[in-house]
Each structure stands twice: as structure tokens, then as C-alpha cells.
Amino acid sequence: MQTKFKLKPLAAGAFVLLAGVVQAQEASPAAVVITGSRIPRASLEGPSAVTVITGDDITRQGFKNVFDALTNQSQNSGFVQGADYGNTFTPSANAISLRGLGPNHTLVLLNGRRMADFPIAYEGTVNFTNLANIPSSVVERIEILSGGASAVYGSDAIAGVVNIILKKQANGYDLNLKAGTTTRGGGSDKRLQFTGGHSFDKLNTLFSVELLERDPLWSADRDFMASKTGVAPTSVLARKNVSSGKYVDPGTTCSDIGDLYGGSTVKYTAKAGSYCASPKVGPTYWTTQTKNSSQNLFGSANYELSDSATLFAEALYGNNRSSNNTRGPSWTSRSATDSYFWNQATSRYEAWSRYISPEEMGGAGRYNRRWDDQAASLSLGLRG
């Protein structure tokens, strides 16, 4: 038995993958739309490995959204940072990286059409497509072309193509509620989906509302990140004599502020002298996973003009609010040009530093950064 694949051009802007199984007789080929191209071609033929994830697969395997389904595929072999990570340039967006070549080389299509790039560059360097605003309840299937396809689509398809195909119709209404948490605390999430549609003779309508809420996961929620071990603790308050390179003894100051950082602030003595320190300063109060609130809406209408022509309209809207924390506030003394100053009280050059604890500012969450973004897409056309 042999499987053959053939890409057949439909028009400038669309290709169809024809797949047939050859036995004693060649089976009738099945047409599956997988990609969209702006490059007109007379013909193109060759093997193309395509992986298909259906909407039922997403539900059955417990994926919470489209990004969750894609990131668990073996083709997504590259590590990317996004909404699931607390310290990143784009904490409100999700990206994938097929074959580890970077999100800028993975082309993402929605119903065969390109999606707009996220307005902030991934890691501050390259453009990418955000997958956080597509309701999973209206996904019919996701097709992953994991081979290089830059000859057809351009350089953004060097790693492959992902085509997310949405449902065209639905009858009735479906309400879905999903919630989960972690055994060690933090990172709980909730999802509510309301999907429905109706058919009126030649007109098919579909809509979906998806609401998602996720709690942050703080580094302090995990024992192996809650405090530094095996290394010197970070200074909370330090005063150094620049001339000698030695710390000025803080006296009883450390015991006076011993309740800071969860009662972990102590007087620490090093070769260069003593200062107030805590093993919980710094990454301990970072968010390993962001806090996120997302509202996604989708609506579509398809009207059959004939057996070969259909008018369509699709609208997609997403609203995301994310917050993360990558460092607490600190204070360092300095002059106009140097990191030290002349202390008239002691008649010497000194350098002072001070970290502000969560207890002093009303909790670590007071120093969160917030990201708000809205995305909208409207497509009108004639298919046929």
C-alpha cells in the first residue's frame, strides 16, 4: 500500500492537498484545504507530511486552548516564552516554534488566511503570530505542515505551516465550564465557553464566547525557588566603604528589620564585612507564570449562493489583561557620575544599597506590571 500526496492549485491564493491511498485500484482522492499562498503557480507536486488535530481531540485530551494543543505536539520542538511565563517581552501572547527555528519562521493561518502579527516583537527581535485569542470550541481541526514551505509561502514558513480551520455551522447551544488547580498551590485556571448557532435554509450562523481566568504562579509557591541555597544571600541593606572595599557594620539594624521578607532578614558576615541579607530577595518574588484574564468572541455567517459559491463573514475579537512581576524595587546611592558618594558625616566615600521588601509596599503584587491588549479581525468575501 502506498500513500500519495499532491498539491493542486485552485487559484492565486489557495492550494488543496489531494491525498489518496493506492491499492489494487487507486482510491478517490480527498481534498483538504491546508494552506494559503499569495504566489500563483501552474503546478506543484511533492510529499507533504500533515498532522491533523480535530476539535474532538482538543476536548478529549484536555487541552485548555489552541496554544495548549499545538505546544504539546512533537513538531513544536522549540522553546518559546509567552503568556505561560512570568519574565518575558510578551507576557500576554502565545507563540509556537516548529522544528525549533523560532516563531518568526512558523506561518500561522486562520481558515487559510494570514493573521496579523502581534504588535510587540518576540524577545524584542522578531515578529510572530499570537495564538491566545482563538476560542477552541469553534475549532474544526488544526492542520500542521511540518516540512519547510518557504518556496510557496515565503521566509515565514521555513519551519512549516499551521492552518487553524474553524467550524462553519452549529445547531443548538453548548455551555462548557472547566477549572483546574495545582497540588502545590498557585496557577489555578478557569474557563467558560458558550457556543451556538443555527441554520436558516441557505444561511448558517455560528458564535462563541470564551472567558478565561488564570492565577499567577509565584516563585515563592515552589520550594526549590522559594529561597537561595548554597550561595550567599542577597543584601537587603548594605553600606560599603569604597576606599577599603569593606562593608560598614550595620549594628542592630538587621534585627530591627528582621521581619522583612517573611522574617528571613538576618545579619550576614562575609569576608568583606557584615550586611543585612535574606535568601528570599530577588527571583523569589517573581511570577513564574503570569496572571491572565481573557475574553474572546467569534461569530460567522455563511450564505450559499450556489453549490460552488458561498458568501462568508467572520469576526474575531480578543481582549487580554496580563500582569507579571520580574523584580522588586531597590535603591542605590550614587553621585552624578559614580555609584558612590562623599559622606560628610564619616568623611569618606561610601556606597549604599537597599531592597524594598513586599511587607513595606503592601505585598509583592503592588509592583506588578500590567499588559492590556485588544485584537480584532473582520473577514468578508466570496468563496468558490
* Alpha carbons 294 and 91: distance in angstroms, whole number: 13
Q: Is the torsion defined by CA of 174, 175, 181, 186 positive or negative? A: positive
Q: State residue 32's pLDDT score.
A: 46
> Strand, coil or helix: what is 50?
strand
Q: How far apart are CA 265 and CA 277, in angstroms?
A: 5
Predicted pLDDT at 284? 74
| Percentages (nearest 5) of helix, strand, coil residues in the chain | 15, 45, 40
* Alpha-carbon gap, residue 60 to 117, rounded angstroms: 30
Per-residue pLDDT of the chain (384 residues; tens, 9 = 90+): 444 444 444 444 444 443 333 333 333 344 444 444 444 433 344 456 788 899 999 988 888 888 888 888 888 876 666 655 555 677 777 888 888 888 888 888 998 888 888 887 777 778 888 888 889 999 999 998 877 777 777 778 888 888 999 998 888 999 999 998 999 888 899 999 999 999 998 999 999 999 999 998 888 888 888 887 778 888 899 999 999 999 999 999 999 999 999 899 999 999 999 999 999 887 777 888 888 899 999 999 999 999 889 999 999 999 988 888 877 888 888 777 788 889 999 999 999 999 999 899 888 888 888 888 888 999 999 988
**pLDDT the model gives residue 170:** 87
The three-class DSSP label of residue 8 is strand
Contact 15, 38 (CB under 8 A): no
Residue 296: exposure state from Cβ atoms within 10 A (0-12, 13-18, ≥19): buried
pTM: 0.75
Give residue for cell 507576557.
Answer: 91
